[in-house]
Amino acid sequence: MECVFGLVGDGFAIVAADTSAVHSILVHKSNEDKIMVLDSHKLVAASGEPGDRVQFTEYIQKNVALYQFRNGIPLTTPAAANFTRGELATALRKNPYSVNILLAGYDKEIGPSLYFIDYIATLHKVDKGAFGYGSYFSLSIMDRHYHSGMSLEEAIGLVDKCIMEIRSRLVVAPPNFVIKIVDKDGAREYAWRESLKDVSVTSA
Amino acid sequence: MSIFEYNGSALIAMVGKNCFAIASDRRLGVQLQTIATDFQKIYKVHDKLFLGLSGLATDAQTLYQRLVFRHKLYQLREERDMKPETFANLVSSILYEKRFGPYFCQPVIAGLGDEDKPFICTMDSIGAKELAKDFVVAGTASESLYGACESMFKPDMEPEELFETISQALLSSVDRDCLSGWGGHVYVVTSTEIRERILKGRMD
């Protein structure tokens, strides 16, 4: 089941998410990318109801882009996080989106940052955060091994430790993960951790 | 489990001699899982007025944003800060506006009024004020806080003794509550200065 987690290192932020599209007991897909590149220097890793997740993250992405067009300056990471929280909080008392979000970003003045926003719109700036069943394992692993100012190698090592723990201890562990990174050079995909390749079905 | 106990919190305000203190724990949790241990529950409205918000964290954030907005409008129109009594009435009416779909928060208001007379008050989630001469408590640890404050509080304490009393009351109370703790945040306010201190507590 869903595992989304992230951490802040020295000059970068990393987020990882499982890539399984699950419906009750069926796995429909194991290469579903749940981390959206919000703009050049922001990543949104989301978990929750699949429809809400896609709808809401795209809505945020387009509105952040609209802001940039109108004002000629991009939204900072804290500004984008507060905007996201605002939208989620307004929706909460009408028809709520059930999406949990980890928003990672890099700003020239602020440096890397990671924001925790849950589906009821609780916003908090964190060094490390996680959602879903995987959080029971990844949070503990990160509590044990995380320290401030981690290098990229250390951080990737920690992310791999978390993935290994989820794979070995979680009954409903997803097979594949995607890791994305954001630093001064922008937001981009870093790597995949796949234990199961999607096989193409031979046509009948 | 009550929605008021979803994130966990502990809040106190105490009156001293021409001063007051307001303190909170620092935990942000989702039920039994701890998300962060540096969460802000006490907000400064102006130099002599503080607001603590216990209960559901998302509603605390929304409520705080609305109250700051209203206070800024007041400052612009009146060219002065709000008196604590006035602010309490504002909080009360904003809460009662949502009588049939409340913000799940219990606020604590502490401030210095005319001639630096301390004012403390708490409210339920629909804005029923409860004024007190000595101390007020709120949050998931409120039962144990009542006991601690009842036995430790003395009237007319000087700022230093007040700090010691409120800190001891907070730290001993949160140890009996699973949903609050992980350090404390204390403000001691006199007419001339605001003293802010972070307390280390049991991290389990």
B24-66 per-position pLDDT tens digit: 999 999 999 999 999 999 999 999 999 999 999 999 999 999 9
Over residues A25-44, mean pLDDT: 95
- Banded model confidence at residue B189, pLDDT cuts 50, 70, 90: very high
- Segment 89-108 of chain B within 8 Å of chain A by CB: 101
Over residues A39-68, mean pLDDT: 97
Give dist(CA B105, CA B57) in Å, integer. 8
Structural tokens at position A57: 């993250």
Size of interface A-B (CB pairs under 8 A): 31
Distance from CA of B161 to the nearest CA of A (A): 33
Distance from CA of A136 to the nearest CA of B (A): 8
Burial of A142 (0-12, 13-18, 19+ CB in 10 A): buried
Instruction: Identify which of B39, B62, B101 has the shortest CB distance to residue A124.
Output: B39
ipTM above 0.90, yes or no: yes
Instruction: Identify which of B35, B56, B62 has the shortest CB distance to residue A124.
Output: B35
Say yes or no for a CB contact (<8 Å) between B35 and A93: no
Largest CA distance in chain B: 47
Average pLDDT value over all residues in chain A? 95
B63 within 8 A of B104, measured Cβ to Cβ: no
- pTM of structure: 0.95
B191 touches chain A (CB under 8 A): no
Give dist(CA B85, CA B64) in Å, integer. 17
Q: Is residue B87 predicted with pLDDT exceeding 90?
A: yes
Give dist(CA A29, CA A40) in Å, integer. 27
Q: Could you give the C-alpha distances from A199 to A31, A174, A177, A193, B52, in angstroms and in order?
A: 11, 16, 17, 16, 56
Per-residue model confidence (pLDDT) at position A200: 65
Mutate to test the interface with A, among B3, B61, B99, B204 (most CBs of A within 10 A): B61
Average pLDDT value over all residues in chain B? 97
Which residues are bridge partners to A192 per DSSP?
Answer: A178
A86-131 per-position pLDDT tens digit: 999 999 999 999 999 999 999 999 999 999 999 999 999 999 999 9
In one-letter notation, the amino acid at residue B172 is: S
Give dist(CA A139, CA A143) in Å, integer. 6
Mutate to test the interface with B, among A122, A140, A143 (most CBs of B within 10 A): A122
Show Cβ contacts of residue B156 under 8 Å, excluding neighbours closer than 6 positions.
Answer: B16, B17
A44 within 8 A of A60, measured Cβ to Cβ: yes
Say yes or no for a CB contact (<8 Å) between B30 and A118: yes
Q: Is residue A8 predicted with pLDDT exceeding 80?
A: yes
Distance from CA of B192 to the nearest CA of A (A): 32
